[in-house]
Amino acid sequence: MTDLKALTANRIFDGADWHENAAVVFSNGRIDHIQPSASLAPEIERIDGGEIIAPGFIDLQVNGGGGVLLNEEPTVEGIATICAAHAKFGTTALLPTLITDTPDISARTVAAGIDAKTRGIRGFLGLHLEGPHLSVARKGAHDPTLIRPMEDRDLDLMLSCGRALDVLMVTIAPESVTQEQVTKLADAGIIVSLGHTEASYNVATVYAEAGIRTVTHLFNAMSPLGHREPGLVGAALDTGALYAGLIADGIHVHPAAMGAALRAKAGPGKIFLVTDAMSTIGTDMTSFTLNGREILRKDGRLTLADGTLAGADIDMISSVRYVHRNLGLSLEEALRMASAYPAQAARIENRKGFLKPGYDADFVVLGADLSMKSTWISGECAYA
């Protein structure tokens, strides 16, 4: 008796091509192949999927979900809650993200991340440390009293974390981190991202040469695109090697700016979707606390009392719908922005982001209207 299972759908998008009236066949957490559903062998367990099957979504910037903010609960239980909350919206792999905090909270988060990997928490990909080595001038909702230059102990913590986790992303600013430190991080396989910085175009390109791979939430908390000084936005779009995350909620970035950036981006680096989600996802919360400050939730916005945006109140399937419907991107490209492109940015495109033989059996099942039907992680149904 075979242990193969088959999830069927009217259409399957494998990350590159469509397969009509097909089934994705999988076993032991890995994809075996895609074939016409009519030709499935009778001994294969057949599961009716729905209208569309696509690669699972990968979110490289997730501050919280399910009522939990990583800063407030830097534990393996907190990480598990965040991962489970986002699985309901199609996310099959994510980086729980720590916003600028104290050295103690950073150390506790790293320990929790290593524990989460050891325990095999479903949906846990690694960690994203967004700060504290940023620019106060572009702090956004980060507590300016906690922003500081990178010291040897910080570098050592990140290097040890990078060795222990499959993926570690760190957001830094040139104002607080040297080129030499960036190179050490990048040489260790850590995804180093520029963000929360006033860096000029020239500084940004020099840091890209030092090992920067991505740009954190394009347009937000960074030097803007000017006609004489292109800033970090200009460097992100003009430097082909750089990838860039984008919050597609229509609040953080105007749709016209999103469209212009997508048309202008030099390759091979791509713009990919991130949610920058906070603890509100999957809840009816109206407020929460970050670093002792109240964050208010209203009309899709999360803000400090002074109106400063503080993370986002959006999930991945909503982000996919937004760029498809509001920006006019093809469904294929919208899905790639949530799966293939973040996989490439995180250097995991050899096992995630596509539905190919040998890849992780991570996929989403959607209705024709892009409604969520189910989420599968490593061949197991994580949400239905």
| Residues annotated as catalytic (active site), given as ranges | 276
**In the block, residue with structure tokens 């989420």:** 375
The verdict on whether residue 123 carries a ligand-binding annotation is no
The verdict on whether residue 252 carries a ligand-binding annotation is yes
Question: DSSP labels for 24-40?
Answer: EEEETTEEEEEEEGGG-
The verdict on whether residue 11 carries a ligand-binding annotation is no
The verdict on whether residue 264 carries a ligand-binding annotation is no
* Cα–Cα distance, 94 to 60 (Å, whole number): 6
Amino acid identity, residue 55?
P
Q: Tell me how many degrees the CA angle 67-78-342 measures, rounded to the nearest 5.
A: 90
Buried b or exposed e, range 88-116, using 16+ CB within 10 angstroms: bbbbbbbbbbbbbbeeebbebbbebbbbb
The verdict on whether residue 19 carries a ligand-binding annotation is no
CB 305 within 8 A of CB 141: no
Distance of CA 22 to the CA centre of its chain: 29
CB 50 within 8 A of CB 375: no
Helix H or strand E encompassing 11? strand 5-13
The verdict on whether residue 164 carries a ligand-binding annotation is no
The verdict on whether residue 220 carries a ligand-binding annotation is yes
Residue list, annotated binding site: 130, 141, 196, 217, 220-221, 228, 252, 309-311
Binding residues for substrate: 141, 220-221, 228, 252, 309-311
- Residue numbers in the known binding site for Zn(2+) are 130, 196, 217
